[in-house]
Amino acid sequence: GAGVSQTPSNKVTEKGKYVELRCDPISGHTALYWYRQSLGQGPEFLIYFQGTGAADDSGLPNDRFFAVRPEGSVSTLKIQRTERGDSAVYLCASSLARTDTQYFGPGTRLTVL
Amino acid sequence: DAKTTQPPSMDCAEGRAANLPCNHSTISGNEYVYWYRQIHSQGPQYIIHGLKNNETNEMASLIITEDRKSSTLILPHATLRDTAVYYCIVRVISTNAGKSTFGDGTTLTVKP
Chain B within 8 Å of A106 (Cβ-Cβ)? yes
CA angle A43, B34, A69 (to 5 degrees): 50
* Nearest CB to A41; choose among B49, B100, B104: B104
Q: With 80 as the cut, is the pLDDT of residue B1 above it? A: no
Cα gap B106→B11, rounded to integer Å: 10
* DSSP secondary structure of A47-79: EEEETTEEEE-TT--STTEEEE-TTSS-EEEEE
Q: With 90 as the cut, is the pLDDT of residue B21 above it? A: yes
Give the pLDDT score at A42. Answer: 92
Give the pLDDT score at B96. Answer: 60
| Contact yes or no for B64/B52 (Cβ under 8 A) | yes
Cα gap A94→B19, rounded to integer Å: 28
Write the burial class of residue A49 (CB in 10 Å: 0-12 exposed, 13-18 middle, 19+ buried): buried
pLDDT tens track for A24-60? 999 999 999 999 999 989 999 999 999 999 989 999 9
Give the pLDDT score at B94. Answer: 67
Chain B residues with CB-CB distance to A98 below 8 A: 95, 97-98
Residues of B engaging A, defined by a Cβ cutoff of 8 Å: 34, 36, 42-46, 49, 87, 93-95, 97-105
Cα gap B52→B66, rounded to integer Å: 7
Do the chains contact at A99 and B49, CB–CB below 8 Å?
no
Q: With 70 as the cut, is the pLDDT of residue A64 above it? A: yes
pLDDT tens track for A50-63? 999 998 999 999 99
Least confident window among A84-98, B53-67, B87-101: B87-101
